[in-house]
Structure 1
């Protein structure tokens, strides 16, 4: 089997990348390989609104947002194979399997990795206690309620304040469950401020910061959980224990980019994001292999996923059409005070067709701060903000002309005061 570009994953990132690649060069054959039975990825179970404000200037549900992209597939040279699991990725080929073709290889000129991310399960959290029924990740509970039509439980405690956990606190409440508390290990929430307000405050659901679950009780089914306050080193404080009767514990303790395929083909991984290191074109350390969406770094807005993925798709199409790869000099993007990571990690000015957008997350909560960007030690951006939190992605935009004479590095940092 042959395709010019293979897109691994048919979620929001894969759809945006495929459409952008096909529009960039309508002569290219683009193939999407999706392991689920339908396109759309996680959006299919996200029936709440809030999607599309940046992309379509209107508020959509997850399925509506996915449908807008699926409608664009018509008339473009894009094929897709569902119920197809990719087994291996290498430069110039992809190995996959499904029930109709068996194991097969696809020869290609470029690959875009769009595998998304998965939730951190209980086994990775080391929570003491028994193993009764009633412990779910928030995403699993979301699928059970929104797609399968099952209620996971009636009295709920949620550990972790990521966006999925916050949204499920509201969803479970609307379905008649009693959400006793949302516990967050860190002294700040991991979700968007709007979700804290709309999903917790509006329903009088308590958010307990600097708290964690230290025990799960129950033999056949969860009967209660024990929570405790934690100190600055995130260790439970003796004497702060509190037992909360419940029949369900939902875990919203972070998302992990699904990069098993990336690691298997020796793509360089950024330890801060657990995603590939990419340049301004979203090309990884292996020429011709691109990455975008939550497999690259976990996003809080799907609109940003679509924007970055479209860039990756266009870059893949240009890579296929080019007789030789872009080999311009690399400018490293360094992280300074308060910045955990940046995407991209480096930039080649020759690869830019417009201004450069750098997205990043902070490592803590900062108030009354400045976002500073220095090019070769010279300050280009000094932007004041009232507050910045790890749960909300930030971005800065650099003009291409400002980078043309850069010979050193770009530094992104947070300055307090």
Structure 2
């Protein structure tokens, strides 16, 4: 049996940062990645805009990944690529992991784990589109893979469902490669992507954005020939008399991302129904002692810079992990918050905490207030908040006299 201190599962930006941080903290570290190459989804993201926070310059996805891969290689950290984790078992001394690759079955023991497994895209069947199963229906990430890595055009004339960032970026990419993007259709009354992508990917290329409209049916046997779109009401129900048939050869889906947490669930890690990721404390440790989560496996981030930041935190804490008694309190929120991460605070940890949150709806001038036992202890003003745009907040809770009975709450006050 192979023995190490920290196992990082996932070789994308979160996993690379976690492995580097654990190594710097003095832990023997092993990274496991199911693909042949490290870098995760960044390998196919050839547009720029990555690294503005972390490196103060605009990089493409491969350029951003290459910086961490280079540091990872120079540090001499061990990586197992094309390796699939089939089982993880909690033991008295830590964890035993079973993995499979071309050499056979491998068993590895470790003191702590970092889950950096990323997220996956929702498919057509997960959004209940009626019709047959013709070729020509792709997730935005799959279409991106075809063009940027395989050099293949998946469409000549397409409709994009969903205004998530990957869909917006692919609307521009497909247009630049000569395809006709007939429109981006979004069931919600507001766009789901970042404002900068709405302007740079749609407005700058005269690609129409249709809000409160969705695809309700697909047509075609061997290949997609058309889609049916329909206006929807505030309850996302189709409005009678608004159906329209649009001829196209492809439907590109950008209908949301889901954190990959099958391994976390197999260990009994508690998940937050709002983020679909693990419930964690400020050290990014989950409900299972010694299991840490970071990046898009924890919650879907807007910027890769924050994915790397969470990997750095998780790797550092995983390297320094020793079993101890927890003394945690919950971070409560009002209904104006879509979610807040971390969800808990361990009073035995460093209480200088980085908090990420999203608003439930679009808000103009508002204030985020932190209360300890109903007494206001911190506030920050915002000119606006939008659900697609994640916010980062640093709060030093060590300034407050917190106990295990403290009620710690986050509220939004709308001006």
TM-score interval (norm. to shorter): over 0.9
The CA deviation string for residues 147-176 of structure 1, in whole angstroms up to 9 with x for no partner, is 011111111110011111010000000100
CA RMSD of aligned residues (A): 1.4
Distance of 1:262 and 1:114 partners within structure 2: 10
User: Matches of 1:75 and 1:214 in 2, distance apart?
Assistant: 51
Aligned partners of 1:284 and 1:179: how far apart in 2?
Answer: 42
**Pairs aligned (count):** 409
Alignment of 1:236-275 (within 5 A): 236-275=238-277
Aligned to 2:15: 14
- Matches of residues 162-241 of structure 1 in structure 2 within 5 Å? 162-241=164-243
Aligned to 1:376: 373
Whole-Å Cα distance in 1 between the matches of residues 211 and 54 of structure 2? 33
Contact 2:186/2:209 (8 A) holds in 1 = yes
Deviates more, 1:222-231 or 1:328-337: 328-337
| Partner SS state of residue 236, structure 1 | coil
1:349-401 deviation digits (Å, cap 9, x = unpaired): 3311x621110112222222222222221223333323211111112221143
Aligned to 1:97: 100
Partner residue, 2:358: 361
The change in CA–CA distance for 1:410 and 1:396 in structure 2 (over 3 A counts) is farther
Query: 3-state DSSP class of the match of 1:74?
Result: helix
How far does residue 55 in structure 1 lie from its aligned partner after superposition?
A: 0.8
> Does structure 2 conserve the Cα–Cα contact (< 8 Å) formed by 1:144 and 1:150?
yes
Runs of 4+ in 1 over 4 A off after TM superposition: none
Q: Which ranges of structure 2 fall in alignment gaps of 5 or more residues?
A: none
Question: Structure 1 residues 381, 207: CA separation in 2 closer, same or farther (over 3 Å shift)?
Answer: farther
Distance 2:50 2:377 in 1: 32
- Tell me which residue corresponds to 1:115: 117
Q: Secondary structure at the match of 1:244?
A: strand
1:285 alignment counterpart: 287
Q: Aligned partners of 1:349, 1:258: CA distance in 2, in Å?
A: 29
Instruction: Flag structure 1 segments of 5+ consecutive residues without an equivalent.
Output: none
For residues 403 and 111 of structure 1, the distance between their equivalents in structure 2, rounded to whole angstroms, comes to: 31
Q: Secondary structure at the match of 1:350?
A: coil
Q: For each residue in 1:71-99, what CA deviation from the matched residue of structure 2 results, as whole angstroms up to 9, or x when unmatched?
A: 11134251001100111222211111001
TM-score relative to the length of structure 1: 0.95
* Aligned counterpart, 1:391: 388
Q: Distance in 1 between matches of 2:223 and 2:73?
A: 48
